[in-house]
Amino acid sequence: MAIKITTDSIVKPIRPDNSKIFTIDELNGQVGDWIDPFKVGPVWVMSAENSKKTNAPKNELASFFFEVALYGDVLIVPPQQLPSDWDLPEDEDMRISSDMVDSGFLLSLQNAIMVKKIRDANPGMNVDSMYYFNEKFNEQPKEEYMYDPPTDQNIDSNTADFFEKVYEFMTKAPAQFKKGILLEEPQVTIITQKENLKKILTMMKGMYLESEEYEKCSVIQQVEEHCN
């Protein structure tokens, strides 16, 4: 979902109408004009392109949080829900779920509101609201997912991309791989049952045989021998 901050400081969730991603028309409709997006951390911030020229009221809460003057209603959109024809999301941002982005932002926004109250009560106090966004986002608990290999052993593009990451992790942390850890990243760990390891290795080896990456096949063979 996206988060909408209105000019009267109301914060509410916004979901796409008919899918998991927004259309450009939906985003334009939420701010009342063509959107003017910019990226902050893992999120995209959007307001109306001509909001200042049309004398839209200043969005005090969003301006305070992002430390830039914003006018009219403001949207905060996770990269996973941008329009499908936008080639903007970075690979690093896509490794985390939209729910994690939303919860991280909402936690940091709550802290920013508290900081604003402290600032208002203590003029001149130097408190950086963006510090809370980065800190709270990084404090999100790590999620653990269980992976079961496909039964038909067909490898689509998504599975191939995943296996590429598994191979990189396996070569860097073979001991963890042998325990059933397929991938470990800052917010996500993907594991599998140890009895699935041989099947996964066989599928990976077949993928690299097809692409004639024989050196990788040799590495997988060595790992496979130690997993027996």
CA distance readout (Å), 149 to 38, 96, 146, 181: 38, 21, 10, 14
Q: Give pLDDT tens digits along the chain (228 positions).
A: 888 999 988 888 888 887 778 889 999 999 888 998 888 887 889 999 887 778 889 999 899 888 889 999 999 988 888 887 776 656 666 666 677 777 777 777 877 777 677 667 666 555 554 444 455 445 555 577 888 887 777 788 878 888 999 999 998 888 889 889 998 876 678 899 888 899 999 999 999 999 999 999 999 988 888 776
Q: Is the dihedral of CA 90, 92, 97, 102 positive or negative?
A: negative
Buried b / exposed e along 57-96 (16+ C-beta atoms within 10 A): eebebbbbbbeeebbbbbbbbbbbbbeeeeeebeeebeeb
Q: Give the containing element (helix H, strand E) for 109.
A: helix 98-121
CA distance readout (Å), 224 to 199, 219, 221: 10, 9, 5
Q: Are 111 and 137 in contact (CB under 8 A)?
A: no
pTM of the model: 0.51
Please give the DSSP secondary-structure letter assigned to residue 71.
B
Q: Are 108 and 83 in contact (CB under 8 A)?
A: no
| Per-residue model confidence as pLDDT tens digits over 94-123 | 666 677 777 777 777 877 777 677 667 666
Q: Where are the domains of the chain?
A: 2-92, 100-138, 143-227
